[in-house]
Amino acid sequence: MSELRKKHPKAGTCVELFAGGGGLALGVHNAGFRPLLVNEYAKRAIETLQTNPMPGGGKWPLKPGDVRDLQDDFKKLKDQVDLLAGGPPCQPFSLGGVAKGTEDERNMFPQMFRAIQEMRPKAVICENVRGLLRKSFDPYFKYILNEMRLPFVKRDKDATWEDHNDVLEKLLANDSVPASERYIVKHHPVNAADFGVPQIRQRVVIVAFRADLGINENDWDIFAPKATHSDESLIHSMRKGGEYWGRHREVSEEAKDRAIANLPGLNYDNPKTKEKLTLQPWRTLRDAIQGVDEFEGHPLPFVDEAAVNGKTPVGEISDHFGWPGARVYTGHTPNLLDRPAKTVKAGVHGVPGGESVMMMDNPTFDGSGYRYMTVRETARVMTFPDKWTLAGPRGEKMRQLGNAVPVKLGEVFADAIAAALDSVGALEKHGRKQ
């Protein structure tokens, strides 16, 4: 599939908040939604969105700045939005963000709820870190879901979130709120690798539908994305003579033998293993670099020692340049080429060293056997198209990628939402202006 080719005939409208470097915005657009408004606060991410056209052409309808300053913008779009999408800043709930939770002023979930109140979108998709599901945050996470179920029940000025949650739970128990003011809400713990993203990325995706549309939880279960890839299938395909090596003939026998020697065993008699083997193999870092799937077999040019030491661009693709100083140490183990990449992180103090270091096939490379992943390799791990350029110095580019939603994961969920809306005739068939 071409990186930018549309494969969906459906067309609805969407609003994207906390757009960052554009991962979820691209995924939602690829699923057939036409953006009416895109908001982002960070300077470099804004520059990225300003630099890159929408797939098919045209500028993103960008409203830069603090989402809290968007007042009339939301109200003007009331009842015009099919899908509200966003990943509120996750620092309040992640281990990397010192886990302040509700005490952290960066908690932007209240702004998502205000957007729902003022625009009344038909559906909502919200992606965030798996830290939301930690036991310590369980009460507040349940409150997030309840507030999304009843977003029009406003919280009293002096009420704590616990007080407001008590009000919401009583209303939900009594089933006394009209369907037009309620949302059906489901959350999905996901690993992006299970959907063909060449990266281990544990997240939670919250999906909501306005209740008066007639899509209930059982209906959504029919459309909700199911895993398409598995680790078991990858392991099986990497056995000697397996399909994995058939598409990676460039790998030396020595490197191949090392990878095969480290493969875990599989219990082929286990029914769960048999089920997993019917899925496609997880995609690996090597797959991303060599151009499997959306990159149509176009490998990235090899980054040699000279390019690393000189921070030199390699080839014509943007953001593919070497970077010196890679090393591993306790707690910072490298990415392996024949596994999905480790989670791409932004980090409180920048990108952690081990998360973007990779072990090369040749153990003598640079005298250490390691090098940093290029920005473009990292972008491929996040399934951004090669034509998508990132603004700012290397650290800022990596930060945008670490904060993003993998494009493919966003598209999978947005496509399922479009299908659910279409099933009840709720998806507006707008002519897309591109």
Catalytic residue among 14, 24, 83, 90: 90
Mean pLDDT across 43-60: 96
For the cut 70, the answer to whether the pLDDT of residue 102 exceeds it is: no
Residue 351 pLDDT: 54
Q: Which two tokens stand for residue 138?
A: 């369980």
Mean pLDDT of 65-91: 91
- Of 24 and 432, the structure prediction assigns the larger pLDDT to 24
**What's the pLDDT tens digit per position in 384-402?**
999 999 999 999 999 999 9
So what's the pLDDT on residue 387?
A: 96
**Mean pLDDT of the 423-430 span:** 77
Per-residue model confidence as pLDDT tens digits over 195-239: 999 999 999 999 999 999 999 999 999 999 999 999 999 999 999
The whole-angstrom separation of Cα 380 and Cα 284 is 11
pLDDT band at 433 (very low <50, low <70, confident <90, very high): very low
Mean pLDDT value across residues 241-258: 95
With 80 as the cut, is the pLDDT of residue 104 above it? no
CATH fold group of domain 12-228+401-423 = Rossmann fold (3.40.50)
Give the chain's mean pLDDT: 90
- 110-124 pLDDT, tens digit per residue, is 899 999 999 999 999
Clarify whether 90 is annotated catalytic. Answer: yes
Domain ranges of the chain: 12-228+401-423, 230-278
154-163 per-position pLDDT tens digit: 999 888 889 9
What percentage of the chain exceeds 90 in pLDDT? 77
**pTM over cut 0.85:** yes
Q: Is the pLDDT of residue 353 over 60?
A: no
